[in-house]
């Protein structure tokens, strides 16, 4: 088997190394998967930059999800069998041609679902589903702001919010992405490079505060989003994209951290606002039953056509550096994958 190792922090052109290894063996509750495609997530970019504390020490293999076929399994695996086409959430290790995954983090998928579509479901759609359906529970008529709405999680949040009958505000950084958001049904797409998103939201909805904000940017963007909330409003933070740059920069990190602002229980109570944080890796590790519930839900709704993940880019596995650069420049709309077979 082949694995892509992160061997040094920094630019994607110098960060990775392909290594040939012995095939892994699944333990009792695990399955061995021959990988068709590995998914990329923005957390991988943070890990490559040395900015993701949950990432293992280098050299390590990144990657949160794979699509492929079961080729072996442990003795305690009951609901899966050799030959099943599956989607699996991996705790890193996904950038490989063969991957071992826990059976609780692995679900069967229909043959007709494209690899890129399926790969979006494990991390990005599960993150969006858990955030929107289990953490805040969107309701018809809610006014919802989604930052970086053209990305993988953003696309999922837009589709879930529209499915619930919400009024959606979505931010993006180019006219191409604005057009994309319009195609998704976003009611108020906002180019945040041309307009201040907070001022734009206020000009649209007047004194009515937002019901929910989903923030993957962090820093001052998070604080401005929080200030847009009305009574009963909730903000869900699930990323810190503002910390990324061309190099690791202590001052950028400090500026982002301070930009969040400081929160105290009393103002939250008096204003009836909620601040929620989400790290899907923690949910996967500590609550595999929740992860499996989310995975089954998004696979089922995708199969029914109620959710429709977008594929933003496909790269051969040996072009991982180009795939990372593409994702880091925020050019993608939808899921970016590495292909091993097919």
**Encoded tokens for 259:** 């930009």
Greater pLDDT, 254 or 234: 234
> For residue 257, how many C-alpha atoms fall within 13 Å in the half-sphere facing its CB?
7
Q: Where in the chain is the domain with CATH 3.40.50.720?
A: 139-278
Position 257 pLDDT exceeds 80: no
DSSP class of 272: T
The percentage of the chain sitting over the pLDDT mark of 90, rounded to a whole number, equals 70
Q: Is the pLDDT of residue 18 over 80?
A: yes
42 token code pair: 């923005």
User: What CATH superfamily classification does 2-120+290-339 receive?
Assistant: Medium-chain alcohol dehydrogenases, catalytic domain (3.90.180.10)
* Structural contact between residues 147 and 131, judged by C-beta atoms closer than 8 angstroms: no
pLDDT digit string, tens, across residues 284-339: 888 989 999 999 999 999 999 999 998 889 999 999 999 999 988 876 677 899 99
What is the rounded CA–CA span in Å between residue 116 and residue 238? Answer: 22
Average pLDDT over residues 115-131: 93
3-state helix, strand, coil in the chain (%, to 5): 40, 25, 35
State the pLDDT confidence band at 264, using cuts at 50, 70 and 90: low
For residue 311, the surrounding DSSP H or E stretch is strand 311-316
Q: Are 181 and 113 in contact (CB under 8 A)?
A: no
Strand-pairing partners, residue 6, are 16, 60
Q: 10 Å Cβ neighbour count for 20?
A: 8
Where do you find CATH 3.90.180.10 in the chain?
2-120+290-339
Please tell me the predicted confidence (pLDDT) of residue 77: 92
pLDDT band at residue 92 using 50, 70 and 90 as cut-offs:
very high
Predicted confidence (pLDDT) at residue 246 exceeds the cutoff of 80: no
Q: Are 144 and 161 in contact (CB under 8 A)?
A: yes
Buried b / exposed e over 220-250, threshold 16 CB at 10 Å, is bbbbbbbbbbeeebbbbbbbbbbbbeeeeee
Residue of higher predicted confidence among 272 and 62:
62
CA distance 103 to 276: 29
Q: Measured between alpha carbons, how far is 316 from 330 in angstroms, rounded to an integer?
A: 19
Q: What is the pTM of this model?
A: 0.87
The pLDDT of residue 224 = 92
Mean pLDDT, to the nearest integer, of 15-35?
A: 96
Q: What is the pLDDT of residue 239?
A: 72
Inter-CA distances, 291 with 4, 102, 115, 298, Å: 26, 12, 20, 11
- Using pLDDT thresholds of 50, 70 and 90, give the confidence band for residue 146: very high
Find how far residue 113's CA is from the centre of its chain.
Answer: 19
Q: What is the mean pLDDT of the chain?
A: 89
Q: How confident is the model at residue 133 (pLDDT cuts 50, 70, 90)?
A: very high
Q: Check residue 333 and give left, alpha or beta (phi > 0: left; psi -120 to 50: alpha).
A: beta
**Bridge pairing between strands 229-237 and 2-6:** unpaired
For residue range 199-245, list pLDDT tens digits in order.
999 999 888 899 999 998 877 888 899 999 999 999 999 876 555 55
What's the whole-number mean pLDDT along residues 93-120?
95
pLDDT at 255 over 60: no
Give the whole-angstrom CA distance, residue 208 versus residue 232: 12
Highest mean pLDDT among 53-57, 95-99, 150-154, 286-290: 95-99
139-278 belongs to which CATH class? Answer: alpha beta
**Residues of 59-69 as b/e, b for ≥16 C-beta within 10 angstroms?**
ebbbbbbbbbb
| Residue 239: DSSP 8-state | -
Residue-wise pLDDT for 161-172, tens only, equals 999 999 999 999
3-state SS assignment for residue 330 = coil
């Amino acid at each position: 088997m082949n694995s892509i190792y992160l061997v040094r922090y920094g630019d994607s052109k110098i960060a990775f190394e392909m290594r040939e290894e012995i095939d892994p063996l699944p333990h009792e509750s695990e399955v061995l998967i021959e990988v068709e495609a590995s998914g990329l997530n923005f957390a991988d970019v943070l890990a490559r930059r040395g900015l993701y504390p949950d990432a293992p020490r280098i050299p390590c293999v990144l990657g949160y999800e794979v699509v492929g076929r079961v080729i072996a399994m442990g003795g305690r695996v009951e609901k899966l069998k050799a030959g099943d086409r599956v989607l699996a959430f991996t705790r890193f290790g996904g950038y490989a041609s063969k991957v071992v995954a826990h059976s609780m983090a692995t679900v069967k998928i229909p043959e007709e679902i494209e690899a890129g579509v399926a790969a979006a479901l494990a991390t990005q759609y599960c993150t969006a589903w858990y955030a929107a359906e289990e953490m805040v529970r969107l309701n018809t008529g809610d006014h919802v702001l989604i930052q970086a709405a053209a990305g993988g999680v953003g696309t999922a949040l837009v589709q879930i919010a529209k499915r619930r009958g919400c009024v959606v505000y979505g931010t993006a950084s180019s006219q191409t992405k604005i057009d994309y958001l319009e195609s998704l049904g976003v009611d108020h797409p906002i180019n945040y490079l041309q307009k201040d998103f907070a001022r734009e939201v206020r000009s649209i909805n007047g004194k009515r505060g937002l019901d929910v904000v989903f923030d993957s940017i962090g820093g001052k963007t998070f604080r401005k989003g929080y200030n847009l909330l009305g009574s009963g409003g909730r903000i869900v933070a699930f990323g810190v994209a503002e910390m990324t740059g061309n190099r690791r920069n202590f001052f950028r990190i400090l500026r982002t951290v301070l930009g969040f602002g400081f929160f105290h229980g009393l103002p939250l109570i008096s204003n009836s606002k909620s601040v929620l944080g989400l790290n899907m890796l923690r949910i996967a590790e500590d609550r595999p039953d929740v992860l499996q519930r989310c995975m089954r839900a998004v696979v089922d709704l995708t199969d029914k056509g109620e959710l429709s993940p977008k594929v933003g880019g496909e790269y051969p596995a040996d072009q991982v550096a180009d795939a990372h650069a593409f994702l880091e420049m925020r050019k993608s709309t939808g899921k970016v994958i590495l292909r091993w077979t097919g």
